[in-house]
Amino acid sequence: MTHKYDFLVIGSGIAGMSFALKVARKGVKVALICKTVLPEANTALAQGGVASVTNLEVDCFEKHIDDTMIAGDQLSTPSSVEKVVKGAPDQIQQLLDWGVDFDRKNDGSFDLHREGGHSEFRILHHADNTGFEIQESLIERVRESPYIDIFENHFAIEIITQHHLGKIVTRRTKDITCFGAYILDCNTSSVDTFLSKVTVMATGGVGAVYTTTTNPLVATGDGIAMVYRAKGTVKDMEFIQFHPTALYHPGDRPSFLITEAMRGYGAVLRNLAGEEFMHKYDPRLSLAPRDIVARAIDSEMKQTGADHVYLDVTHKDPEETKHHFPNIYAKCLSLGIDITRDYIPVAPAAHYLCGGIAVDTDGQSSIQRLYAIGECSCTGLHGGNRLASNSLIEAVVYADAAAKHATQAIEHYDLRTDVPQWDDSGTRHPEEMVLITQSIKEVNQIMSTYVGIVRSNLRLDRAWNRLDILYEETEELFKCSKASRDICELRNIINVGYLIMRQAKERKESRGLHYTIDYPPEQKNVVKG
């Protein structure tokens, strides 16, 4: 079946839904592709909040810009940082207009939190489930729109380019163009052709590539893998942010996140002996940027052979703690941990990708008529390390920029109609699911063991060799298999794992989230270009 749209939006988190709402209008057809169902997006798991300068009595854009550049280890693109920071207040107002409810004080002003790396209190939040509040508000608006067609349980397999029209496309090919995507209807197992004038990739992150992650398990890097296979530019994949404080509870996947706002509130990190340790690593103590805190915890765990450390908030007022962190309190209590009396066991977990599909200030990728927004994109904002709570605001600022640019550009585009249907002549093998499940576990183990918080040339070489074997096996299986979400996700996590590993090998220095024992910080050897 062939579907024809003006805008094809692949992904339904804050970035995808924001874009869809901004371009939807009479006479314009918008398709919103959702891999599972609308509530299941990484946005909904973002506890901390949204960073924006709102209290001008103590805060200013320059402070937020400086904090972002410092956290990014001076690798952030200044124009992108300025764009997001200065564009944030308007997009906060947009979220309010869409019905998002941020916590306020009795006088009506925002109840601002402070998180690691921020010099001021500037985090807008809704208790400790801000992402869920945003996701629910946007879902309501999207479902109300008569101009947005929602396709739940639909999985994008490949974007359509000249390659599918019989033309040879290489990474040196100029003006590669996207004409839509082949999308699997998981309800019927059929592959439909979605033709569009503009396609938007908003598929989120890559956390499910690792064994331990705070991301929903749908975060398999699908958009990044599709764009890479289509010869698009992908960059900075080595910068994987591990959240320092995921709740340690063996068997949980994804791991429950203990928001950084809790450390901003006054929680203290302790080792298993109950001793504070952050003073050994950074003068900012528990409020140091995430990469420093994650490596500190990793170091403490390795020194003692422990599988976790503790986060201590027992010295704070119990009722105030319950008020600020009701979901964390309830989750921990369900496991027999009363956070007002007991230490919280925590350990780092793969959390956020700072790299992704390279885009310009309008969200345009290197492929014509293809935009990328949200976590799957690399805008340059985060550089070597994301500043806490900058991601949600980046998503809406760039969704706005992409919507404005695409709305004007679309007037010059026509639908490509000579696109062949997907060749779905493969078969299903009885052992296919066993092979896929086992291969995914192998990728998770390889990435967690060799491409984790601390890396080395030897570890990366081992990852290369092992991923190469899995890549060859999976591509052979894909060629003779009927399209399924399982085989496609396996291809994607292998592609993404390879990109993370390869770009980590190419960076001959320790910088930001990429830390290698072969190039310690005091002996930096920067490779030009």
Q: Which residues contact 507 (CB under 8 A, 6 or more apart)?
A: 238, 514, 516, 527
CB burial readout 428-445, b (16+ within 10 A) else e: eeeebeebbeebbeebbe
507 flagged as catalytic: no
CA distances in angstroms from 341 to 329, 337, 377, listed in the order given: 11, 8, 41
Please give the Cα distance from 131 to 143 (Å, whole number).
18
Please give the Cα distance from 408 to 163 (Å, whole number).
27
Check whether the bond before 254 is cis (ω within 30° of 0): yes
DSSP3 helix / strand / coil % (the chain, rounded to 5): 40, 20, 40
The active-site residue, picked from 114, 290, 295, 466, is 290
Q: Which two tokens stand for residue 44?
A: 């909904």
Give the DSSP H/E element, type plus range, for residue 157.
strand 154-160
Residue 517 burial (CB count, 10 A): 12
Contacts 24+ apart (CB under 8 A), 56-64: 58/120, 58/121, 59/120, 59/121, 59/122, 61/85, 61/86, 63/119, 63/120, 64/88, 64/118, 64/120, 64/122
SS (H, E, C) 70-99: HHCCCCCCHHHHHHHHHHHHHHHHHHHHCC
Please give the Cα distance from 158 to 225 (Å, whole number).
9
Q: Which two tokens stand for residue 236?
A: 């900075």
Q: Which two tokens stand for residue 109?
A: 């002003």
Residues serving a catalytic function are 290
